[in-house]
Amino acid sequence: MRQAKRSRNTAETEITIALNLDEETPASIDTGVGFFDHMLILFAKHSRISLNVKATGDTYVDAHHTVEDVGILLGELFSEALAEKQGINRYGTAFVPMDEALGFASIDLSGRSYLVFDAAFENPKLGDFDTELTEEFFQAVANNAKLNLHVRVLYGTNTHHKIEALFKAFGRAFREAITINPDIQGINSTKGVL
């Protein structure tokens, strides 16, 4: 089973995450940032993984440290659970509509960190969540999972819908990329490693 669990404690946050890439159970998410919880639940559902996140942080300042640090630990655990990435598709791409908005995500589990983020949000805040933290989260995941990630909002007007489309697209692209393909022998790379 491709699974991992770990805690990350700093002077700003205390976070524990457990995940299993090979089973789907209802997500248990509690970060103290309601909109972010909603997005992580959507990601878990659309990636069809088991995900449990418990985080406390200095949200009296703002949600920045909590969102970024969850992204850091989540990325590290993705990398740990995928290990040598034997037999996986490696690539995944998804377009997801959310009412008037259309989100896109494309992933390469290449072992190289890179984020291309193309989205603008008219509403700067959704609940306790600063919408600019969407990019911070994806950057932290990409850096720490060592994956290449392109996310884009092609169009839309409602900020909630646009961010939701991105998280759903990310989940679906991630599922495609991590799926073990019986037609792939060993590592899906001419280098022999990812």
Could you state, in chain order, the average pLDDT of each consecutive group of 10 residues for the chain (194 residues)? 96 98 96 98 98 96 97 98 96 98 98 97 96 98 98 98 98 98 89 82
Q: Which residue has the tokens 């659970």?
A: 81
Distance between CA atoms of 69 and 83, rounded to whole angstroms? 21
pLDDT of residue 192: 79
Report the distance separating Cα 182 and Cα 117, nearest Å.
32
Taken in order of first residue, the domains within the chain and their CATH numbers are: 1-176 (3.30.230.40)
pLDDT at position 194, please? 82
The whole model's pTM is what? 0.96
